[in-house]
A and B are shown apart, each in its own frame.
Chain A
């Protein structure tokens, strides 16, 4: 589907015409990310992050396939194989550092993409399916990143694997047998390492498949925009190519500058030194934390320290999973007919002064030691997190009085939409 004024693919080259008849792949690309996709003319740089996430997915797959050529998922050699990649393989250090930092940048751009969705309510009708698929992608990313971090078989790998599979041990009755089944043993060893490698290789391609569904679902209503007002006429849109290929290309260049600075000058800044010590089942590192991108969820996990009907361990696990599963219900928890935070004064206050500081606190607390005052702060932040989504958002969206919306995207950009007001005979704006 597309808007009626979308440009039609009309190849002039005889070979491309022949190709279009037999396999219209160029047409698909043209209509998806070419001149055939009309996009709101007012997109800000916050609309860059979908393309950037796609770029980092490709980067992870390319560098990951390369690393798999030199790695072996055998617990006796895995740690040495990573050092072999670092020291012996031509450019192996670059491949590994690009892959490790690529994971971090993938999460950075995806978090910004998600919080763009929160602020502009991108999850609302008619785009609920895009949002639901996006949450699925995020869950798959978390599983993939976790299993990838186990592969170097350092201390953090081993204890991360033990702790995260231990989460499943919290489930009543079936917990312990489930954990043993997941690991293929009583502690992480060869069996766990091999299956994690296999799944770490598989899941990125599953992610790529869901990304295709995500983009397919996006192209039915078309892209949202910072006003939240739907596209009404041709003057509200510009073709994706060249306008947004150029804008996204510029944004990609800026992000790549930061990415290369990290990869070449601070490649281990976001990692943990303990992971350069080979896995030792008899000794746990002093501070055992996941990678930074899991900190908020790790903070929520550790916030539950008391038994209340259910054991504390189970509450922590339930809350951690619930903190992401609640995103699935956002399209129905937020009742406001207005999308954009620009026009929702009360929602905006709770976003900037409630949700954002709460997330920042959880990010900090997830990496801190499990001791006071961090535990109490985690408990407050966790309570506020759920309060925001389950109480504040439904109430605020029901009672707030939104600011007046522009008539159209064109009006929001140009100050008036003369064609819409005066009809077809309107003079061009002067």
Chain B
């Protein structure tokens, strides 16, 4: 019987020996290729929103710390966020060391938060670990809270002289970023 309708006959549609039709294979191949292609297209569309090369190029900052007097703090900018650099007084160091670190919400000693040989130099992000406000206390005359460190005005988190959370909603101590002193100890490189 010649087929003039262009319609597949039951014989043509019957299973092959292994029960898989040619059309099943084509279907799976086409859908898989489309799926892989789709993922390959979605990846750049998502990745384009990540920090661009010019933002990443600014990801490390040098700060000259030589002029900071004991009891004084400066604000620098690291990755578009405030960075607090404070030279602690002997009294502030003693206060920080007098606290039993184990009793704190985020247990850390002052030694763990500073560098060997520069125990009086406290470098932290000026970003409250609660919701990201800038705590007060770095500039002259700002309130420094009950524990003499930093005080976040947004939701009342209080940080001690080692910038550890003591009271209020912040879950962790002010973050100490990765940084290094240059050999003569006058400049730090953050990031």
Seen from chain A, the residues whose Cβ lies within 8 Å of a Cβ on chain B are: 62, 66, 69-70, 84, 87-92, 94-95, 249, 413-415, 428-430
Contacts and interface: CB of A to CB of B under 8 A. Distances in A.
B49 interface: yes
A198 B50 CA distance: 25
B52 A84 contact: yes
Nearest to B26: A246
Contacts of A249: 30, 34
A95 B44 contact: yes
Interface in B44-66: 44-45, 47-50, 52-55
Given A84-B54, A249-B30, A90 B48 contact: yes
A415 B47 contact: no
A90 B30 contact: no
B5 A429 contact: yes
Contact of A430 (B4, B34, B50, B55): B4
Interface residues of B, number: 17
Contact of A91 (B2, B44, B54): B44
A414 B6 contact: yes
Interface in B1-42: 1-2, 4-6, 30, 34
B183 to A, nearest CB: 33
A92 B5 CA distance: 52
Contacts of B44: 90-91, 94-95
B1 to A, nearest CB: 7
B40 to A, nearest CB: 11
Contact of A88 (B34, B45, B52): B52
Given A428-B5, A429-B4, A429-B5, A90 B50 contact: yes
A91 B42 CA distance: 11
A89 B50 CA distance: 8
Secondary structure at the A interface, as helix, strand, loop or mixed, is: helix
Interface in B99-119: none
Contact of A92 (B2, B4, B34, B52): B52
B33 to A, nearest CB: 8
25 contacts: A69-B48, A69-B49, A70-B48, A88-B52, A88-B53, A88-B55, A89-B52, A90-B44, A90-B50, A90-B52, A90-B53, A91-B44, A91-B45, A92-B52, A94-B44, A95-B44, A95-B48, A249-B30, A414-B4, A414-B5, A414-B6, A429-B4, A429-B5, A430-B1, A430-B2
Contact of B53 (A66, A87, A428): A87
Given A90-B47, A90-B50, A428-B5, 5 more contacts: A88-B52, A89-B53, A90-B48, A91-B47, A249-B34
A428 B2 CA distance: 12
Contacts of B45: 62, 66, 91
A422 to B, nearest CB: 15
Nearest to A89: B52
